[in-house]
Structure 1
Amino acid sequence: ASDVIINLASSSKEKPDPNSLVFGATFTDHMLCIDWSKETGWQRPVIKPFQNLSLHPAVSALHYAIQLFEGLKAYRGEDGKIRLFRPKLNMERMHRSALRMTLPVSTSNLYCPQFLWC
């Protein structure tokens, strides 16, 4: 968790009614980004304000669909606490998918960082 850089948004959106949440249409105030390059490998994770992504027009995912997605689920318990649903299994599945797709993988704890409490 100490490796994570946290840049909070200057203001927060009004929280929506939980009964009105729609997948793919309701977003948080923040996003997690972890950069990777062939020269330096995986960089420190950054939690930052939600923003548009900047992609080069020739990025392979736009042309050849070489990409991964793993949806991590979180639920609010009866005690009001937010709990992640099987985060370690999600990260292990993402790791296997990356290997299968011959995408770069990390040998560090990036697949199950401390802030996910795996």
Structure 2
Amino acid sequence: MDFIFPSLESLKLVGLHLEKDPMPALKKLQRLEDVILDSCCFSGEKMRISEQGFGRLRKLVFYFDGLDELQIDDEAMPSLMELKLRTRGRQMKLMIPDRLRAVLDPPYIKSCIPECIDAKKM
């Protein structure tokens, strides 16, 4: 994917059914600044954004069905300014570094398990 769209800066995917975590593939798009995954269904259990991921990303929006857990490593997304997360049907376990709590949009926190948002100090 990184050689097909090396200059891609914005990506919006709508209505996808994902069986595997898309983050390892998406992080290869090193120029991404905005990622929106809207009305997507995830049949896996966990998504993880690793420390080496998304150096230029400024906006991340997830509207998901079926996402049980999202883990964002401490050094991931150093340029992030906007984070919106929402799941439908069940609460999501969210593990994020303290520095990202300030950019997490409060209305979207309601779809996450409150004790898990504060449980992991990264």
TM-score (norm 1): 0.23
The structure in which a higher percent of residues are strand is: 2
The structure in which a higher percent of residues are helix is: 1
Q: Which structure's CA Rg is the greater one?
A: 1
